[in-house]
Amino acid sequence: MTNAEILGNLLQPADTEKQSAWEVFLKTVDATILWYPSAENDLSDLNYRFPDLYDEPAAPSAFIHTGCLPTMEVCQWLNGQDSFFFENTCAELLDQTELRPRNWDYASKIQYPFLNRVAAAYLANKYQHEETLGIIRKKQPIRKPDTSKLTGFLLPQNHKDIFKTIGNDIRTGYIGKIYLLKIRIADVIQNILFAFIDDLVFQQVFIAEGGLRPSTIYSRQKAPELEV
Answer yes or no: is 98 within a domain.
yes
| 3-state class (DSSP) for residue 226 | coil
Answer yes or no: is 228 within a domain.
no
What single string gives the DSSP state of each residue in 102-134? SS--SGGG--GGGS-HHHHHHHHHHHT-HHHHH
Residue 13 and residue 87 in one domain: yes
- Amino acid 148 reads S
User: 133 lies in which domain range?
Assistant: 107-171
User: How many distinct structural domains can be found in the chain?
Assistant: 2
Residue 121 and residue 152 in one domain: yes
Residue 50 and residue 95 in one domain: yes
What are the tens digits of pLDDT across the range 215-224?
999 987 654 4
Residue 91 and residue 25 in one domain: yes
In whole angstroms, how far apart are CA 67 and each of 20, 159, 225? Answer: 26, 23, 23
- Are the CB atoms for 196 and 178 separated by under 8 Å? yes
What are the tens digits of pLDDT across the range 144-192?
666 666 667 777 677 888 888 888 888 898 999 999 999 888 778 889 9
Between CA 122 and CA 169 the distance in angstroms is 10
DSSP 183: E
Q: How many residues does the chain have?
A: 228
What are the tens digits of pLDDT across the range 91-105?
888 899 999 999 999
State the Cα angle at 103 between 100 and 104, rounded to 5°: 75
What are the tens digits of pLDDT across the range 70-119?
888 888 888 876 677 666 667 888 899 999 999 999 999 999 988 888 89
